Amino acid sequence: MPVRALFVTLSICACTAIMPVALAPPSPLPPVWLHAHNCYPDEGVGADRLARALAARRGTVAIEQDIAWDARRGASVLSHDTELDGSEPTLAAHFFDALTPELDRALAAGETAAWPLVVLHLDFKSNEAAHHEAVWQLLGRHERWLTMATRTADGAPPSTLRPGPLLVLTEAGDGQERDFHERVPVGGHLRLFGSVPAPPEAPGLSRDERVAVAVETPAAAMIPSAATSYRRWVNFPWAVVERGGQPAAGAWDAEDRRRLDALVDRAHTQGLWIRFYTLNGHAGRRDGWTDGYNFGTTEAVLERWDAAVAAGVEFIATDQYEDFSRWRAARTAR
């Protein structure tokens, strides 16, 4: 399936457990290469991350915003955890206010073939009903920008996306499908789109055991269901490709490539976009970056970036915004 697939129509047989899903030809939109991981200030670092990601992009860019509910302020705020001190920027100010001039210009220009220009990935760190409602209302105030779809009775096949300059994705947190899909009346507009939940983990396993099970689980079991009007993507740590994830990865080999291809092919057969996180490669520590996401060298991460692009991954998460963008431009020019 081409990687320029953002608009898909599925023809789903009721016996999808037996028959493969047939995927209609997609409408082309620019592929998303750079998925800017943790693109917000956190613990005194990263105040420039959003500006850097927007400056580094080449075409569409995805921006990850980790959000938690600040009940004292009645606002969704940018935070990697739920222990807040009140200094966290709000989602409204940090993202929506910052993007208003650009997205309004895009609307005025009306060049819909390039839409979406920005993908907003909301990583909810808390799933209070009040938090969901606040985000729903925030999106409603900016509905003019949104890529949306019609809520249908059963969601299958997925309804066609109506393009806007901003596409909003969330994941599969508690209550999200209820609040962002089921409570929307049939015929209403879906403002954001969730991911297909991962298969349930076997109880009683250690973290290392869970990682080992994940990398050995067949792609069809890792992605058990197809796209719906609401569920549009899947989201995986790199440890489902290489055992132990980034720090434990050895030389990239044919077996690793087959595993990556199998997951991407399964996602696309199911009509889903796919994201892997977080692919960094650098020597030494970096403030605000997670050690567990580091392959250790530039050469190692370039191999994985190249493999992910070749496989057709839509969302490649990294903290190395500029490095990735320069590499991608050079690869495209070859």
**CATH number of the domain that residue 293 is part of:** 3.20.20
CB 53 within 8 A of CB 99: no
Decide if pLDDT at 251 tops 50. yes
Look at residue 17 and tell me if it is in a domain: no
Look at residue 229 and tell me if it is in a domain: yes
Q: What is the pTM of this model?
A: 0.91
Decide if pLDDT at 13 tops 50. no
Tokens of 211: 């990682």
Q: Please give the sequence-ordered ranges of beta strands (E in DSSP) within the chain, or none if there are none.
A: 5-7, 10-11, 22-23, 27-28, 34-36, 61-70, 75-78, 118-124, 148-150, 161-162, 166-169, 189-190, 194-195, 231-237, 273-277, 315-318
Give me the sign of the Cα torsion angle 201, 204, 208, 209: negative
Look at residue 20 and tell me if it is in a domain: no
Q: How confident is the model at residue 2 (pLDDT cuts 50, 70, 90)?
A: very low
Look at residue 328 and tell me if it is in a domain: yes
Over residues 216-232, mean pLDDT: 95
pLDDT of 30? 58
Q: Is 9 helix (H, G, I), strand (E, B) or coil?
A: coil
Distance of CA 184 to the CA centre of its chain: 22
pLDDT of 43? 86
Q: What is the pLDDT of residues 157-215, one digit of tens each?
A: 999 999 999 999 999 999 999 999 999 999 999 999 999 998 887 788 887 788 788 89
For the beta carbon of residue 5, count every other beta carbon within 10 angstroms.
Answer: 20
Q: Please give the tally of structural domains in the chain.
A: 1
In the chain, % of residues over pLDDT 70 = 91
Concatenating the DSSP letter of every residue in 48-106 gives THHHHHHHH-SS-EEEEEEEEEETTTTEEEE-SSS---S-SPBHIIIIIIHHHHHHHHH
Quote the domain boundaries for residue 285. Answer: 29-333
For the beta carbon of residue 162, count every other beta carbon within 10 angstroms.
Answer: 15
Look at residue 24 and tell me if it is in a domain: no
Look at residue 9 and tell me if it is in a domain: no
Look at residue 175 and tell me if it is in a domain: yes
Decide if pLDDT at 242 tops 80. yes
Look at residue 5 and tell me if it is in a domain: no
CB 289 within 8 A of CB 301: no
Over residues 29-58, mean pLDDT: 91
Distance of CA 239 to the CA centre of its chain: 17
